[in-house]
Chains A and B, each alone.
Chain A
Amino acid sequence: GQQLNQSPQSMFIQEGEDVSMNCTSSSIFNTWLWYKQDPGEGPVLLIALYKAGELTSNGRLTAQFGITRKDSFLNISASIPSDVGIYFCAGRGGGSQGNLIFGKGTKLSVKP
């Protein structure tokens, strides 16, 4: 079946640094979504991407849908302590309706 590889698994950075994480798929995806999960909460949608090559920003967050449709990245600029959490990519290819496949998450820690 379709698989998503998300990297890195975890990151420890200093406040103010920029962060980059990415996901690659074994097959073509039609949609890429990026979620953030805070401890004890459900995933919250950050950015949704629907077209190959699309670059979308949400405040300090920027995400891109790769041209090959097999990858996506998320950048966070000038990180702050509240950026701490687990970031998940999720994608959907052809086939099952609404069946999102999630990456294994990138755990972000920010030192003040």
Chain B
Amino acid sequence: DTAVSQTPKYLVTQMGNDKSIKCEQNLGHDTMYWYKQDSKKFLKIMFSYNNKELIINETVPNRFSPKSPDKAHLNLHINSLELGDSAVYFCASSHGDRGFRRETQYFGPGTRLLVL
């Protein structure tokens, strides 16, 4: 019954490795997002996809590449992991249509990434 789910919950890896985080939503939403939360709990948007199409790409290193195989999934692939990538990554989703419902985003439980 989970609305927005992410895997894995924890990810510990070595510098230089490539890793992926998966996200799925069963809310029927058209728009999905990736956020990064740093150690000070600051939440910042990284990417936004609407109907499998990239609509927001904030200043994020191109080592981060989102992939949306369908409306219900938005995965995040990270190449050549660096120490500074350690953070909690949250997936979120919202209705993609015009109007107020678009603004309300529902978050997944987060993936805690630790790069050693």
Contacts and interface: CB of A to CB of B under 8 A. Distances in A.
B110 A104 contact: no
A100 B90 CA distance: 14
A33 B104 contact: yes
B41 A98 contact: no
Interface string A89-112: 010100011111010110100000
Interface of B: 4, 31, 33, 40-45, 48, 50, 55-56, 90, 92, 94, 96, 100, 102-110
Contact of A43 (B31, B55, B90): B90
A12 interface: no
Interface of A: 30-31, 33, 35, 37, 40-45, 48, 50, 86, 88, 90, 92, 96-100, 102, 104-105, 107
Contacts of B92: 42
Contacts of B102: 97-98
Contact of A48 (B56, B90, B103): B103
Given A102-B42, A102-B44, A96 B56 contact: yes
Given A42-B90, A42-B107, A42-B110, A98 B55 contact: yes
A33 B31 CA distance: 17
B32 to A, nearest CB: 10
